[in-house]
Amino acid sequence: MRAYDIILKKRNGNALSKEEMEYMVLGFVKGEIPDYQMSAFLMAVYFQHMNKEERAMFTEIMAHSGDMIDLSPIKGKKVDKHSTGGVGDKTTLVVAPIVASLGVPVAKMSGRALGHTGGTIDKLESIPGFQTSLSLERFFENVNKYGIAVVGQTANLAPADKKIYALRDATATVDEISLIASSIMSKKLAGGADAFVLDVKVGSGAFMKDLKSAKELAEAMVGIAKSHNKEAVAVLTNMNQPLGRFVGNSLEVLEAIYTLKGKGEEDFVELCITLAAWMCYLAEKGSFEKCLEMAKDSLISGKALEKFRDFVTAQEGEGEVIERPEEILPISGKIVEFKAKQEGYISTIDTEKVGIACNYLGAGRSKKEDKIDHSVGIEILKKIGDPVHKDDIIAKLYISEKSDLETSLKLLNDAYTITNHPGEKWNTILEVV
Ligand code: URA
């Protein structure tokens, strides 16, 4: 077998066999296939795509390139949730305690910030003392004792995906449906859950900008899960504007705590309850409607908040964060206001630019080794459809000395459009696949 022939076959639009896929992926991981050939292969996939069988095989090969986590020490049906990535997307911080409070074990491996989107692990590390790296034994012990543990992905979880993603990022081959679906699902399969709820973001802040391509991605991911005999539900959700009120690590933890105390923003609460209900449904806790009621009740009654407290303290985080989040979380006291330049309505928000603006403040990374600043972020005060007068505050920027404020403000200025008509407001939940 030769890499050249496999690239040629894919370039010409033909389907590859499992042996050919293995040859490319495992050869690349071992360093036997050079970057230039893997890049050409990825570009061939970018233009010629993969069929359903190829996607399932590609995912399986990447999943098995490293550890396959065996969650059998944890009792009950394990349901995982995954978001394709958004701006202000702190759902795990609320959904995980809701479902855990309803008896669904949460044994979750989460990621860090990627591109313009944030990562759950970075957010959790805003809580003083919180440990995101636990031994597998302690991870299982916490789930069995408290019903919940969230840790960073082990270095050896789908290493083929890690290596291929880095190359995709440098060769303009990230945004191809088969490649995204197999990248995400390889990590999910390796994580060992029995079923998955996939939050597929749609809109200006998502990988998928329109409903049609988001639906294709959702179908591809659900298809991969089913090919591996796992149940999956994909929920297509609005990412045409930032989710909730805050973007940035500590600020998103703050918002999650407010939400668990019953003071959440409407769009964020709706999303959390819906995702939690689908997780409970897949965990066989009842009909979807019943699960929705249970999820709402957990949030309103404070059961989810108590579960969040167990979760934080079990992972060595400062429990006082629940009572005094504004004091315990590192949140910058230096605030700059971004104001409306004219009167009208907020008609569109380029949400990706808001995410990048937040990165320029210091909340994200441009290189893997970069340190993030947990204290910075953006508070969103105006969203699509809101009327504004000249000089009304649209957003507050929480900054540090290292923030590139000028670039952030320019990005926000480009991100917001104000016209004399309210823009098209999308529902929070767009479709279920
Ligand atoms: N997230 C991933 O893990 N992989 C992709 O390809 C895109 C988003």
Find out whether the beta carbon of 355 lies less than 6 Å from any atom of ligand 1.
Answer: no
| Residue to mutate, 45, 50, 114, ligand 1, most ligand atoms under 8 Å from C-beta | 114
- Among residues 187, 215, 307, 382, the one annotated as catalytic is 187
Identify the pLDDT of residue 423. 85
Minimum mean pLDDT range among 98-102, 117-121, 353-357, 412-416: 117-121
Residues 239, 219: one domain? Answer: yes
Active site residue 90: no
Residue 286 shares a structural domain with residue 304: yes
298 inside domain = yes
CB proximity list for 12: less than 8 A, separation 6 or greater: 48
Q: How many structural domains comprise the chain?
A: 3
Last residue within a domain, chosen from 268, 292, 321 = 321
337 and 193 part of one domain:
no
405: tokens are 């404020």
pLDDT for the residue numbered 116 = 82
Domain limits for position 404? 329-419
How far apart, in whole angstroms, are the C-alpha atoms of residue 319 and residue 69? 29
Q: Are residues 111 and 213 in the same domain?
A: yes
Distance 56 CA to ligand 1 centre (A): 16
**Gyration radius from the chain CA atoms:** 21
Q: Which residues neighbour 18 within 8 Å (Cβ) at sequence distance 6 or greater? A: 57, 61
Which band of pLDDT confidence, cut at 50, 70 and 90, is reported for residue 377?
Answer: very high
Contact 161, 187 (CB under 8 A): yes
Residues 349 and 221: their CA atoms lie apart, in Å, by: 28
Query: Has residue 410 got a pLDDT over 80?
Result: yes
158 CB under 6 A from ligand 1?
A: no
On whether residue 211 sits in a domain, the answer given is: yes
- Residues 90 and 193 reside in one and the same domain: yes
Considering only CA atoms, which residue is closest to atom 2 of ligand 1? Answer: 184
Is 187 annotated as catalytic?
Answer: yes
Q: How far apart are CA 176 and CA 195, in angstroms?
A: 24
The answer to whether residues 292 and 146 belong to one domain is yes
Listed range (9-23, 144-158, 231-245, 283-297) with the worst mean pLDDT = 144-158
Residue 181 alpha carbon to ligand 1 centre in Å: 7
pLDDT exceeds cutoff 80 at 426? yes
* Closest residue by CA, ligand 1 atom 7: 180
Determine the angle formed by the axes of helices 249-260 and 266-282, rounding to 10 degrees: 70
Mean pLDDT of the residues in the chain: 96
Question: What is the value of pTM for the model shown?
Answer: 0.95
SS3 content of the chain, % helix, strand, coil (to 5): 45, 15, 40
Which residue type occupies 311?
F
> Could you give the percent of the chain with pLDDT greater than 90?
92
- Judge whether 400 lies within some domain: yes
| Residue environment code for 107-125, b if the CB has 16+ CB neighbours within 10 A, otherwise e | bbbbbbbebbbbbbbbbbb
pLDDT value of residue 112: 83
Ligand 1 centroid – CA 235 distance (Å): 17
ipTM of the complex: 0.96
* Helix extents (H) in 246-387: 249-260, 266-282, 288-301, 303-314, 325-328, 351-361
Tens-digit pLDDT profile for residues 317-366: 999 999 999 999 999 999 999 999 999 999 999 999 999 999 999 998 87
The finding on whether 239 has its CB within 6 A of some atom of ligand 1 is no
- Known catalytic residue at 89: no
Q: Let me know if 183 is a catalytic residue.
A: yes
User: Do 387 and 406 have their domain in common?
Assistant: yes
Q: Is the CB of 85 under 6 A from ligand 1?
A: yes
pLDDT given for residue 70 in this prediction: 94
Share of the chain above pLDDT 70, in %: 100
Domain CATH number, residue 184: 3.40.1030.10
